[in-house]
Structure 1
Amino acid sequence: MAPVTTPRSRGLSVDEYLKSFAERRNSSRTSVSREIVIQIDQQPMHTAILENISLGGAKFRMMYPTQLPKQFDIIGAGDNERPVPCEVVWQKHDRVGVKFLTA
Structure 2
Amino acid sequence: MDEKRKHPRTEVNEPGYVSSGGSVMHCVIVNISAEGAAIEVENPAFVPHRFRLVMANDASEVYECRVIWTKKTRVGVSFVDAA
The TM-score bracket by the shorter chain reads: 0.7 to 0.9
Map 1:66-85; keep pairs closer than 5 Å. Answer: 66-67=44-45, 68-76=47-55, 80-85=59-64
Aligned to 1:96: 75
- Relative contact order (alpha carbons < 8 A, sep ≥ 6): 1 or 2 greater? 2
Report sequence identity in percent.
30
- Rounded Cα–Cα distance in structure 2 between residues aligned with 1:77 and 1:88: 20
Structure number with greater Rg is 1
The question of 1:40 aligning with 2:58 is answered no
Q: What runs of 5+ residues in structure 2 fail to find an aligned partner?
A: none
Q: Which runs of 4+ in 1 moved over 6 A?
A: none
- Rounded Cα–Cα distance in structure 1 between residues aligned with 2:36 and 2:25: 18
- Rounded Cα–Cα distance in structure 2 between residues aligned with 1:92 and 1:59: 10
The question of 1:86 aligning with 2:65 is answered yes
Instruction: Report the RMSD for the aligned CA atoms in angstroms.
Output: 1.9
The question of 1:57 aligning with 2:39 is answered no
TM-score between both structures, scaled by the size of structure 2: 0.84
- Rounded Cα–Cα distance in structure 2 between residues aligned with 1:74 and 1:29: 16
Aligned length: 81
TM-score between both structures, scaled by the size of structure 1: 0.69
Q: Compared with structure 1, are the counterparts of its residues 55 and 96 closer, same or farther at alpha carbon in structure 2 (3 Å cutoff)? A: same
Q: Structure 1: which amino acid aligns with 2:31?
A: N
Residues 56 and 100 in structure 1, CA contact (< 8 A), matched pair in contact too: yes
